[in-house]
Amino acid sequence: MIRAFLVALFLCPLCALLGVFVTSRRMSFFGETIAHGAIGGVALGLFFGLATPTPAVILFSFAVAAALLWLKENTELATDTIMALLLSGSISFGMILLNRMQGDFRGDIHRILFGDILAVGGQDVAIAGLLFLGVSVFVFTHLSPLTLISAQEDMAHVCGIRVRRLNYLFVLALTLTVAVSVRLVGILLVTPMLVIPAASARNLSRNLHQQIILSLMIAVVSGLSGVALAYHLSSPCGPAVVLTCVGLFLLTLCCRPLLRMSRS
Amino acid sequence: MAETVGLNLAFNGQSVLRDVSLKLPAQKVIALIGPNGSGKTTLLRCLLGLQAPDSGNIRLFGGIPLKKALPRIGYVPQKLQLDRDFILSVREFLALRLRATRHWFWMKRGALDERLAEAMAELGCESLLDRPVARLSGGQLQRVLIAFSLLQEPELLLLDEPTAGVDSPGEHTFYELISEVHARHKMSVVLVSHDLSMVYKHAHHVYALNGTICCHGTPEEVMNAESLKEAYGIGVSPYHHHHHAH
C-alpha cells in the first residue's frame, strides 16, 4: 500500500507537469500513441520472461516515439496519420504476440489496460522515484525555453534556444513518463492523467505560474485519494485515480464562475 | 548591418529565391514588398538561420556567427501558435525574453514588473500585462510581440507581415508606432508588407521581390508603375496618398 502511494505521489504530479505543455502544444494524441505502444512492450516482456514488464515497455515506447519522429521528419504524412498508424500497429503486434504464447494472459491484459498499482514492487517505486527526480529537474530548469517553444518555435530560435534538441528532450521525458505511468493507471487512462489536471487547473488560473502549481496539487490529491479508493473498493487503480481527477475537474468548473465574480 | 549575396533556394524543385542579393542599411526602415509566394518570408527565415539556402552567403553584423548575431536581432512573426487553452500571461511571456529572468517561475517579481511595465508603456499597452496572450486581438498581439523584441534592445528588427491580422485603422496606427519605435531606438527595421501606401509613407528603402530582387531604392524610385509591374507581374498602383517627406 505504501509503495502504491509512493508511486502515485511520484507519477501523478509528473504527468500533470508535462500535461500543461502537452495540452498547450496539442500533443495529447502523442501520449495516447505511446501508451498504446505499451501493449507491444508488455507482450515482449512476457515473451522474454521478464519479472517486471517496465523495462520492455520503456524500450518499446522509445521505439514507437523514435519511429514517430522519424516519419514526421522524413515523410509528408500528417502527424495524426502517423500516430494512428503506430497506435494500431503497436496494439496489433502486442495482441498477436500474446495470442501466440502459451498460457492465459487475460489477467495481464486487464492490468495493462486499467493499471495495477497495488501490485507494484520495490523496483517500480525506484524507477518512478528516479523518473520523478530527473524529469522534474529537466522541466523546471527548462521552463522558460519550454514555454517559449510552446508559444512560437521561430521566436524561440531567435532567442537562442536550440529548438530541435529541446523538442527531442521533451519527447524523451514524455515517453518515459507515459511508459512508466502505464503501470499505475493503465494504457487507457494515461492520457486523461496528462490532460485532466492541467485542464482543471486552467479553470481556476489566471497565468501559467498558477496553472502549473494548481495542476501539481490536483494531481497529488487525485493520485493519493484514487489509490486509497481503489484499495478500499478493491477496484482497478487507474479508473479510481481518473475518476477522482474528473471529480476535481467538475469541482473547478463549478468554482470558475464564483472565482470570476470575486475577481470582477 | 545585414547582407545576402546570391541566395538561391528551391523547395521540391520549385525555385523560391533566385540570386537574391541585398544590403540592409543601418538605422533605416526597409520594406520588403512583393506578391504572395514571392519569397519574402523565406528570405526573412534565411536571414534568421531558420532556413538554410541552397547556395549563397548571408552576412550579419559584418560576418559574425549566427549564434552571436541572434541576440542582436528582434523578430516579430505573423502570429503565435498558442492554443486558446494556453494561459500564458503577457507578463510571463515578456519575461521569457530576458536572460536574467530565465527562472521567472521562482522569482520575486518587483524589479521585473517595473521593467516589463516600462516596455509595455512605450507601446501604449501596459494595461494588457495580466491578460492571456492567446486572447489578445491582432493589433494588441503585435504590440506585445514588438515589446518582447525591444526588451533586448535589438539592432535589427524583422517584422513578417505585422499587420496581417489587423484592421485598416489599426494598420495605420501600427505603422505610426513602428516609425516612433524606430526613431527612439535607432535600429534597422525590416518590414515585410503588402500595403504599398504605408510602405511609401514609412519606409526609407524598398526592396521589391518576386523570387529575385526586381528593383530597390527609395520609395519614390521603386514605387512607380513600371517597377511594380515587374515585381507583381500586373499593373499595380502604389496609391501613395498623404505622403510626407521623411
Which chain B residue shows the shortest CA-CA distance from A21?
Answer: B86
**From edge to edge, which strands make up the β-sheet containing B55-60?**
B14-24, B2-11, B55-60
**What's the domain range around A139?**
2-187
Pick from A26, A151, A205: CB nearest B93 = A151
Pick from A151, A158, A206: CB nearest B80 = A151
**DSSP annotation of A159:** T
Q: What is the pTM of this model?
A: 0.86
Residue B4 and residue B49 in contact, taking contact as beta carbons nearer than 8 Å:
no
Q: Which amino acid is at A70?
A: W
Handedness of CA A32, A35, A37, A39 (dihedral sign): negative
**Which of A29, A136, A141, A155 to mutate: most B Cβ within 10 Å?**
A155
Å between B68 CA and nearest CA of chain A: 9
pLDDT score at B79: 79
Which chain B residue shows the shortest CA-CA distance from A195?
Answer: B85
pLDDT score at B246: 41
pLDDT score at A105: 65
Question: Is residue B21 scored above 90 in pLDDT?
Answer: yes
**Domain for residue A221, yes or no?**
no
Residues 6+ apart with CB under 8 A from A62: A175, A179
pLDDT score at A104: 65
pLDDT in tens, chain A (264 residues): 788 889 889 999 999 999 999 988 888 888 889 888 888 888 888 888 877 777 888 899 999 999 998 998 888 888 889 999 999 999 899 888 888 876 666 666 777 777 776 677 788 889 899 999 999 999 999 999 999 999 889 999 999 999 999 999 999 999 999 988 887 778 878 889 999 999 999 999 999 999 999 999 999 999 999 989 988 888 888 888 899 999 999 999 999 888 877 776
| B90: its cell numbers | 503577457
Domains of chain B plus CATH, in order, are 2-83+155-232 (3.40.50.300)
Interchain contact A147–B (C-beta under 8 A): yes
Q: What span, in angstroms and rounded, lies between the C-alpha atoms of A91 and A39?
A: 6
Asked whether the beta carbons of residue B77 and residue A155 sit closer than 8 angstroms, the reply is: yes
Helix and strand numbers (H, E) in chain A are 12, 0
Q: What span, in angstroms and rounded, lies between the C-alpha atoms of B36 and B43?
A: 13
pLDDT band at B235 (very low <50, low <70, confident <90, very high): low
Asked whether the beta carbons of residue B50 and residue A157 sit closer than 8 angstroms, the reply is: yes
Asked whether the beta carbons of residue A24 and residue B73 sit closer than 8 angstroms, the reply is: no
Interchain contact A136–B (C-beta under 8 A): no
Domain count, chain A: 1
CATH number of the domain enclosing A158: 1.10.3470.10
**Domain for residue A243, yes or no?**
no
